[in-house]
Structure 1
Amino acid sequence: MRLLQAHRYRTIQLLLLAVALMIVSAACAGDDAPASSDTANAAPPDVNVSDETGSDSAAAAQAVTPTTDPVMATVNGTPILVADFEIERDRRSMGMAIEPATADAFDQSVLQSMIDQVLIDQYAAQQGIEVTDEDVDAELAIQEQIAQQNDQTLEDLVAAQMYTVEEYREAIRDMLLWGRVSEAVTADVSPTSTQVHARHILVADEATARAIIDQLNQGADFAQLALQYSLDSSTAASGGDLAWVSLGDLLQPEVENAIFALPAGTLSQEPVQSSLGYHVVQTLEVVEDRPLDQAALARKKEQAFLDWLDAQRSAAIIEQHSGSVTGS
């Protein structure tokens, strides 16, 4: 992996996949251990709580569902019950040691994912996006085959994750619905983007960076200097090559801004400072509407979906009821 490349696998969908597909990883591992801590610790964005009324979402919101049970939050009038929240929190915390100092943040992350699911459900209902019983059956059949191949039963593996079979069916339905809504809202994402092919040399101090620029201006070979000086071990051997970069791909925005600002074939005459040090950067090629590879297109669609979900939260009337959490 390149040191500068952003790894954008913070997709909220993976949280649902972790819940709905725990059985798969457990079956493949030959035991019924809980999901790994990496997956369990993946945190969605902070809860967006709004007391405003009259939003577009509110106009289209479902009527408040009558209930006498304690309510954790409401999303456009749809309640999230404390009892349901506590069960989901217990599922997510399996195999984790949650310290008191982080308990509130963990609770908020669980609640946010439940709020997001309600928003997904509401959008799907408005747009006529459905998951049929046959769709759920097909997914369960695949998981049952995997369980049988490992001499286990679907029922036992589901129970180990604190589900009944019927509850697990609903988790599968939620997962599939999430995926279909994601596909629908990202259907128009362009498979191309403006991209630059660039390279860099990362050093610790400005004086060294300027000395390298001087050598390059005198005809020194960029690839050789990258191999000799660059602190980025993932690109030094390839002459500092960052390959093709789209906006948003790099973790260091200063470097990204610099390479996009340079004309093709241009070496920056000023070092670019980032949190990692000082970069000597050169833009080799610039292509508009260059096709994205599969991974880059997936990242672009993921970001488009996350942006859409942020907009749904902002437009929704979300009321969080303080003091509803018990047993934290």
Structure 2
Amino acid sequence: MAIVSVLKGALRGQARSRRGAQGLAFLLLVIVALFLSVVSERFTSVANLSNLLIQMAPLLLVALGQTVVVLAGGLDVSVGAVVGLATAIVASALPPEIAVPLALLAAAAVGAVNGVLAGPLRLHPIVATLSTASIVTGIALTLRPTPGGNVPDFLIASANERILGLPLAVVWSAGGLALAWWILSRTRLGLHILSLGGSTPNARLNGIAVQRRLIAAYVLCAVFAAAGGLLLAGRISSGDAMAGLPLTVSSLAAVALGGTQLTGGIGGVLGTLTGSLLLAMLANGMNLMNVSPFLQSILNGVLLLIAISFTRRRQFGL
């Protein structure tokens, strides 16, 4: 109980800044890494660490988009369905120069619908995005009823090959991380998204177009999810309408574990990177220790509950 009290106090202190509890998230990451390096010698091998980064990349891209929406005070449970739709489109018979842009445009359309439902129409974000998730999954299954199809060779290469010994999937991760950081930290849109999540009434009084910014956040989230879907399709070399569903809970867990409050306005992409790494390490460690893979979803749910229980709402502005 004393340890729990200390953690809660530390997390509340971290939450007084816009960064959230990123410091504690990093500390937890270090502890898990040290534990796994002790229990398994293979964990620190170059091959295993490289594989870990490759496996983490789709989750990180999806979680970065989720971070944008959460910081705006929303929530998107349709990201897994968007990932599946992207894999289904890119594995179709369409030429790559059409399939890839179409997957991104379709995702943007889904994000716009989510934003309109959660914004101007004032539906609860979970209800709105859960409804679109069901529709999008149905469309993806219509396009690709069973896993398969022909994924463009350049996607397969970019997801599995290496350049100068570095997995190209890491380049995807670094590019997505840099883009999300730039949007949230160096653009007016990012400032408005943080203001919206911190205090919607205050943002409105300061002349921010609340509804348009919320829609933009959902569009960005869906596009990041589609990018994760493209990378995942390249990694598994097939389209699979159901492949992205586990990423819905995992992306939320990565965001929450990274110190971003699910009520909005507090947190950032560096914390999401930490949370994604933590989940990837735990999954990798369980594989090395021959733990049943079915326990991973249970662990993700437990970690999500713990992360939420340790954080409290602190609103900036009004």
Please classify the TM superposition score into its range, dividing by the shorter chain length: under 0.3
Task: Report 1 or 2 for greater relative contact order, CA contacts < 8 Å, sequence distance ≥ 6.
Answer: 2
If each structure's strand is expressed as a fraction of its own residues, which one has the higher value? 1
TM-score, with structure 1 as normaliser: 0.22
TM-score, with structure 2 as normaliser: 0.22
**Which one has a bigger Cα radius of gyration?**
1
